[in-house]
Structure 1
């Protein structure tokens, strides 16, 4: 699950232009916390939210990273854990002004890119979960078939099943039994079948 500091790192990178930004410029937003910034950067690179340049000197915010930033900031229970300062506050204002215009186009662009790793899938799946939960008032019980269809052809059915189950094993999501609203066979098929516990139709985000 993305941490509070990682959200701030994504926001800082976005505010600086988002592409080919020197690491030092991003780290300068976190005076005295360079080690924490480097650790956050490493995790976000691993998750596919941030891309390193070939010489490892510059960073680019990926489309998956933009969607992860969006889903984190609009999540109902998200709040900054400490004083954030004027630069972060102004970056947040700029972000809300910008995304109020192009949020839908961002979501559409992100859907075009193939997901090639578990860490990238984790970021995209959480962003999809948060957006669906917010838009349709699912009360944190999001139908798995909705997540699968929202991600679409960016990931194979087999990888979706394996990676969603791994997210449960990693205590990120809890997969719950039940049935879909109209027991439609295609919606049940787009849920997840486990070998031990049987059919799982809903995902619930585990909060820490």
Structure 2
């Protein structure tokens, strides 16, 4: 049974790391452990799991200013996908009574994303068809992405701009994204905000928005 338990621990940890945005962000180790740990489990239970996943290249662990952070690699995503599809990944009757709503909802979000990605591949055969051709179309997509990120990651109406840029991806050019987001602000749909961002990196900064006055905007809030 130990191998089965270890496998479940790995899958739960990878799943919650993905759900916390670990593919694009570095997540605090303490936040990750707290999100996956059951009430009677000890924090130390997860250290060997983290060590093994790190050795396999499934996760990356960094330490900055004494803060340990974890991110999910492509290898980790592949392991997670295989684990969730495996017939061995199932909860016993006792485990089902204590499984957290966070884990349950994370699994739902995972399979919804897989389903959405499959539909996009099947319905949009070429990159050209994926392109956003107009501001009105961008506005609709941006609002949908904002609402989804705000809901799924509990951003409390303060959604990171870099997350929106990365979600929309290559459907628009970088300059189009910035210009159209600023236009949505001018129309009082979004309010772009600066301030401080925890865990800021150069790539997150680049994926935020620089105004004509040279001021960085990291977050957006829907006001209209």
TM-score normalized by the length of structure 2: 0.44
> TM-score scaled by structure 1?
0.48
Relative CO higher for 1 or 2, CA cutoff 8 Å, sep ≥ 6? 1
